[in-house]
Amino acid sequence: MLSIREEDGGEITGVCSVCGGDIYRGEEYYRINGRSICPECLEDFARDYFRSFVCRGGERW
Ligand SMILES: [Zn+2]
């Protein structure tokens, strides 16, 4: 876990495991299966995460 003081005073408390972006103290992020996901990456992550649930219109199942 990183703890670096930036010039703006923000403290980095984690790193997004998708984009590698910094997650600052007080900032919202998602903790899924031990991975940290920033809000910007949630959609991509969720799309991949729920890949096995994909259906195609017109297909019977
Ligand atoms: Zn991210």
Ligand 1 centroid to residue 17 C-alpha, Å? 7
Structural domains of the chain in order of their starting residue, each with its CATH number: 12-53 (2.10.110.10)
Q: Which helix (H) or strand (E) covers residue 40, if one does?
A: helix 39-49
Ligand 1 centroid to residue 41 C-alpha, Å? 4
Question: What pTM, to 2 d.p., does this model score?
Answer: 0.69
Return per-residue pLDDT of the chain as tens, 61 residues.
Answer: 555 555 666 899 999 999 999 999 999 999 999 999 999 999 999 999 999 999 999 987 6
Ligand 1 centroid to residue 46 C-alpha, Å? 12
pLDDT of residue 60: 78
Ligand 1 centroid to residue 56 C-alpha, Å? 28
Q: Distance between CA atoms of 60 and 13, rounded to whole angstroms? A: 46
For 18, other C-beta atoms within 10 Å of its C-beta total: 16
pLDDT of residue 22: 95
